Amino acid sequence: MPNHKKNVEVVDTTCPWVSKVWNTVDTHQKKGLTSIIHGKYAHEETVATISFCEDYIIVKDMKEADMVTDYIVNGGDKEALLKYFKNAISEGFDPDTMLNKVGLANQTTMYKKETRAIGQAFQKAMMKKFGPTEVNQHYMEFDTICDATQERQDAVSELVENSKELDLDFILVVGGWDSSNTAHLLEIPLIGGVRAFHINRSDCIGADNTITHRTMSGEIVTEPFILDLDKDVIMGVTSGASTPDSAVQDSLGSIFMLKNLQKEKKEE
């Protein structure tokens, strides 16, 4: 029986940015392009995206992108390439024929600057192989980075760039430990040499001035938090795109509690 006869209303709650990625890879297929997807092959969003693709290869980072672009330009060990990407390619993938015309898409939570760098690498590879005048026949790109993700990445990058001027002590990243976009927010300061912590809830900040956090490698560790509670703390705070505001406020409350406890100790 049709839904309307059952008095059932179906509401599509798919993120519009994810839908944009799906429309992008669908366009790739219609134009006879292989989709180059910047993402993690086991991530739920990427698994959904490849369901719209006939031919695809998933690259996790710049290193993997360089492997593919090098093969495009110079050829190489076909079997070794297929073995390395065995979990990240479409069935029957042939790099000798399927990498001549490609289009770029991405998991919307990936690091924006890396997606752009990967796109530039593939564009340059096509220029080298087919010439500058033919590049548009062999490479296509759309911007499919989620706005919420992009704004946060830009803000954290700006904090890192100005960290010395701001005399920043650390950057606190609040969000799920299994969240890809939150994990990327941690990478930006750590790669930039700024102390940073990724917590998933306020309880990670202990009353004994320790913090339990997720490292860039995915390990959960506990270590001393604020190095000098007597001085003013200057910090940057950000959160994952779907992290509730209350989680951020509760985490800040835990930090204020540490400062108040220290103040009370000094007054005793």
pLDDT tens per residue, range 41-98: 999 889 999 998 999 999 999 999 999 999 999 999 999 999 999 999 999 999 999 9
Instruction: Please confirm, yes or no, whether 45 is among the known catalytic residues.
Output: yes
Q: Which listed residue (45, 54, 141, 161) is catalytic?
A: 45
Task: Tell how strand 210-214 and strand 220-224 pair up.
Answer: antiparallel
CB 122 within 8 A of CB 65: yes
Question: What does the pLDDT look like over 230-266, one tens digit per residue?
Answer: 888 999 999 988 899 999 999 999 999 988 877 777 6
Which pLDDT score is estimated for 26?
Answer: 86
Which pLDDT score is estimated for 87?
Answer: 96
Angle of helix 147-161 relative to helix 112-130, nearest 10 degrees? 100
* Residue 91 Cα distances to 37, 54, 230, angstroms: 15, 9, 60
Exposure class string for 124-150: b at 16+ Cβ within 10 A, else e = ebbbebbeeeebeebbbbbebbbebbb
CB 97 within 8 A of CB 32: no
CB 254 within 8 A of CB 205: yes
Half-sphere exposure of 106 (CA within 13 A, CB side): 29
Which pLDDT score is estimated for 171?
Answer: 97
Which pLDDT score is estimated for 151?
Answer: 85
Question: What does the pLDDT look like over 101-123, one tens digit per residue?
Answer: 999 988 887 887 888 899 999 99
| Between 149 and 106, the higher pLDDT residue | 106
Predicted TM-score (pTM) of this structure = 0.67
